[in-house]
Structure 1
Amino acid sequence: MCDRLGRGPGRPPLLHHSLPAIAAPTQAWSDPDGGMRDGAHGVHHAGVRWICGLSLTVDGRGVEPLSSVDHDGRVTFRGLVGGLDGARAEHRVVVHRTREAWSRGLVERITIENGQEVPVAIMLELELEVCGSPVDAIAGGRPEHGDVDIAELPAGALVRSGERSMAVTSEGGAVRVRGRRIVVSRRAIVRDGDWATLDVELEFDDPAVDDRASTVELSAPPLTGRPALDRWTARAVSDIETLLLDVGHGPVPAASAPWRLGILARDAIGAARLLLPVDPRPAAGVLRTLAAHQGVRVDARSGEEPGRMPNALERGGDYRSLDATPAWVVLLHDAWRAGMPLDAVRELRPALHASLAWMIERIGEGYLGRLPTGPYEEWLPPAAEGDDAREWFPVDAQALAHAAAAAAAEPAHRARRRR
């Protein structure tokens, strides 16, 4: 039954058995043993799955997995390998793999440790299957290979897809191209008690991607004196840091891994509101980033309208969301109440007025509605499709609109009370 759910046509693959290494907008998903085989597995960058298969062999043999752990955008795998030339019957040759993501690439280090009293001769091979397909195809349960050019270079291999590219290099290994596969290998004789390493690096170049990893380190929450809770909180903060992007206006939490892993307004606003007691900088970054992309014209294709906040920033912006704009107003109010400097609040006042004007324009029969121009079937649930879909007023949007109106009125109400 699980296989049918995860692999049926048109269904997104399941992720509960996968381990991620993430540093937005780069992400790598694999099995707990480090292999990438199916489903959403692979190395993704900015909406493209560049690598859809990855396997490690030692002298043509697989590695028996022992353990794995992920932390701070890094995953470490540990396993055993036996039957090597010169090795004894017992498994005393250990394989350590460290996979670390960064904003524009991925580094994998493989270390063979010989715990025996005799040297062993090894052949390490890391095989990568090039995909080059949009991540949306995986989310829709339609994995496919994209149109790519793969060239073998003296310093490694280069994969091109239009203006985008991925370079594969290795320190200590040879890089060869075999069709759509790139093989990185190294021969070594590992003396007893010694080790040998193979480093492989992937680096992406995409001129159309403005997303850059944020360098902000979030403030640490105060210790509670409960070790388990403090460890959980520290891990949560660390995980959020790996998701922070910055397009020039401050840190913004990315969302929707492993599909888009980009800036989605509703998710970013929700995360920023929850982080306010810990660190207000993500809230300021979200507010400024969305305000910088606020709608200024009418565009039926993207749903852009004057004053409307975008739902997603990728592909020129997607504005087909009814609740992103009131949610932005609520976040501005909450950030102000949490101590956001008044100068920063005043800087966002034009965006606030434009947001409220858009909401007033969209009030129909006393509710926030009047669906945008353009293909509304793309984002409405099936129950709302039909001839009367343009009169659809979702309940959660009404709650947000009410909260936004009350939030916008509070400063004026306080000013009148002071008089």
Structure 2
Amino acid sequence: MPAQPALHDLVTVVRAPSVALSGPDGQLRGHGAHGWFQHDRRLLSVLAIDLLGAELTPVGGRLAGVSGARFDAVVIGAQPGLADPTVRLRRDRVLTGEQLTDRFELSNSGLNPVEYQVELRLATDHAPVALVKDGGVADLVPGDLATLTWPEVTVAVDPPARTRDEFGVAVLTWPVRLAANESWQLTVTARGHVEPAGFTPTAAPSPGWRLPGAPADQQCAAVLDRNLADLDALLLADPVRPADRFAAAGSPWFLTLFGRDSLLTAWLLLPLGTELAGGTLRALARRQGRTTDPHTEEQPGRILHEVRRGELRTSGLHLPPVYYGTIDATALWVRLLHDAWRAGLPEDEVRALLPNLRAAMEWITGPADADGDGLLEYGGSGEGGLANQGWKDSGDSIRFADGAFAKRPLALCEVQGYAHAAALGAAVLARAFDEPGAEQWWSWAAALRERFRARFWISDEIGPYPAIALDADKTPVTGASSNMAHLLGTGLLDTDEAARVAHRLSQPDLDCGRGLRTLSAASAAYNPYSYHCGTVWPHDTAVAIRGLAAEGHRQLADDLARGLLEAAHRFGNRLPELYAADPEVLAYPAACRPQAWAAAAAVTAVGQLSDWW
């Protein structure tokens, strides 16, 4: 079975909805995840340059600005009898939402002239992003060599070149002679022309982040700059109303609107302004469930999980273009609406969303509680959908302390916290806007709090903590996990209970010093490289930071924030989707980077240490 391609050693340049992934030398070689992608399609799989008869030695590759990179290579032995490199090839890459530009400069700093045949290779396989993510291989797609045009992409080169076809690869050549201290330039511009079918969002401008204060120190400033730039590069505009922007979940596989990811990103960034929150709320409200459809899992009032241009087919997954299989996005939507209002979202914008709020609360207090026990649970999708529908959505993520799999339906602990916060927020908004429902939702939240207290608390040798979930038999799933951190600040816990959770999170089986492990190192299923059973997810730790600060446990929040910043330094200040830490911080090969909520987590860590709240 093909393996998912590694991303950790690639240079990723992103400007949603486009992303270019190359090796450290800048070459797109057509293997693994290499390529230029747009709207879930690889438009260029090969974009590689060579000097025939000479070997290019890469000497540098780095990100440049928001959506650019610079790569340098030299030719060793270009001048007879001289060991020092005198010929350099510089490559500057710039990405926009629809266009990729590579500018090359070949320069000779030697005393003698040099001659080369410059060769550029171009090809596309037009592979769906899901196939690439699965490690699959697609055949090359033929193009028109005269115009350098392939399906949905056209390439222009300046200066013009001689062109030939080599088994589906366009090979362009230029004879170049450089005198002493002379240089030669080449510009390659690839333009996508994707048909606007289905969900095809466009790049969106930055909202202009409003910092609550200066970053605490230079390290905080560097992390802040990198991650705000990444967030700007991940912004997309709703094709229905381009003024509404949202954060795409992440590069390269998730450059689209997600419920949970986009909502949590906007929530973490509320201290920097409400514009992103408003756009995210409206983009999701437009697609809020209105009917009951078992195939898409749409239900009236439900907020979607993800929306794409077309179907998503990977090994084990077959998702429709608009998919609603998430248990938590609806509650997160309601919480964000309330918290954005508190943070200054204009009242007319809030009022316009109150019908969506009511529909969301009807789903939370109705269909989300499938068995009528007063808790939110999910049974998992049918064939082709997500088995687990919380943020830990891999098939093996919910395990007992002895490693046994928990049987669905599952009532996740953090989802009860989100729902409690949503009900309280909905009640406050109803009262503030003179709408009905406040008393009903306050009563529902109070009953949920008592049910949670009676059913979820368990103990181990360290002390009491909330179980990650209740299984199909309503048995608490043993084994400490990071999920409990999401309860902090939701109002579901009283002061003593919040203190117990804070204490449990501070223990070394969960707090590795560089963030929170998703699962206790004492659990049988723990693996520092397990996607959801041992790795560290920055957004997970960021939610803990915000919750701990809200509950008054600022020292632990500060400690977690410092750990995230130390991890960020390991990754060039760009926090990945997840990483291993046992105890050294190591890359998780398939982790997406940049990832919206990981970038927002870095901002959260900076904010915590800079006294922004």
1:148 correspondence with 2:141: yes
Hey, what's the Cα distance between the residues in 1 that align with 2:66 and 2:335?
A: 31
2:33 to 32, 40, 45: 40
Alignment of 1:313-392 (within 5 A): 313-314=307-308, 315=310, 316-362=321-367, 363=369, 364-369=372-377, 371=379, 375=383, 378-380=386-388, 382=395, 391-392=409-410
Deviations 1:73-101 (A, max 9, x none): 10101111145588955311111101111
Deviations 1:172-209 (A, max 9, x none): 13254333212233222223222111111111111125
User: How far did residue 303 of structure 1 move?
Assistant: 1.3
Tell me whether 121-130 or 25-34 shows the greater mean CA deviation.
Answer: 121-130
Contact 1:136 1:260 in 2 (8 A): no
2:156 to 163, 169, 176: 169
Amino acid at match of 2:233: T
Question: Which structure has greater strand proportion?
Answer: 1
Matched residue SS, 2:256 = coil
Tell me whether 389-398 or 228-237 shows the greater mean CA deviation.
Answer: 389-398
1:210 correspondence with 2:200: yes
User: How far did residue 235 of structure 1 move?
Assistant: 1.7
1:22 correspondence with 2:14: yes
* Distance verdict in 2 for CA 1:60–1:379, change over 3 Å: farther
Matched residue SS, 1:144 = coil
Contact 2:327 2:378 in 1 (8 A): no
Hey, what's the Cα distance between the residues in 2 that align with 1:265 and 1:22?
A: 21
* Distance verdict in 2 for CA 1:188–1:88, change over 3 Å: farther
2:300 equivalent in structure 1: 306
2:573 equivalent in structure 1: none
* Distance verdict in 2 for CA 1:360–1:376, change over 3 Å: farther
Tell me whether 368-377 or 253-262 shows the greater mean CA deviation.
Answer: 368-377
User: How far did residue 10 of structure 1 move?
Assistant: 4.1
Amino acid at match of 2:34: H
2:426 equivalent in structure 1: 408
Tell me whether 171-180 or 12-21 shows the greater mean CA deviation.
Answer: 171-180
Contact 2:275 2:345 in 1 (8 A): no
2:230 equivalent in structure 1: 239
1:223 equivalent in structure 2: 214
Deviations 1:183-242 (A, max 9, x none): 233222223222111111111111125210002353253433623322221221111101
Hey, what's the Cα distance between the residues in 2 that align with 1:269 and 1:123?
A: 52
Hey, what's the Cα distance between the residues in 1 that align with 2:395 and 2:59?
A: 46
1:190 equivalent in structure 2: 178
Amino acid at match of 2:154: A
Amino acid at match of 1:135: V
Considering only aligned residues, what root-mean-square deviation do their CA atoms show, in Å? 2.6
Tell me whether 174-183 or 341-350 shows the greater mean CA deviation.
Answer: 174-183
Tell me whether 284-293 or 203-212 shows the greater mean CA deviation.
Answer: 203-212
Amino acid at match of 2:28: M
User: How far did residue 18 of structure 1 move?
Assistant: 0.9
User: How far did residue 347 of structure 1 move?
Assistant: 0.9
2:167 equivalent in structure 1: 179
TM-score by length of 1: 0.88
* Distance verdict in 2 for CA 1:376–1:394, change over 3 Å: farther
1:398 to 387, 405, 416: 416
Amino acid at match of 1:318: Y
Amino acid at match of 2:50: T
Amino acid at match of 2:40: G
Amino acid at match of 1:313: V
* Distance verdict in 2 for CA 1:220–1:234, change over 3 Å: farther
* Distance verdict in 2 for CA 1:146–1:291, change over 3 Å: farther
Structure 2 gaps of 5+ residues are 311-320, 389-393, 399-405, 439-613
1:64 equivalent in structure 2: 57
Hey, what's the Cα distance between the residues in 1 that align with 2:323 and 2:249?
A: 15
Aligned residues: 400
Structure 1 gaps of 5+ residues are 1-8
Amino acid at match of 2:349: A
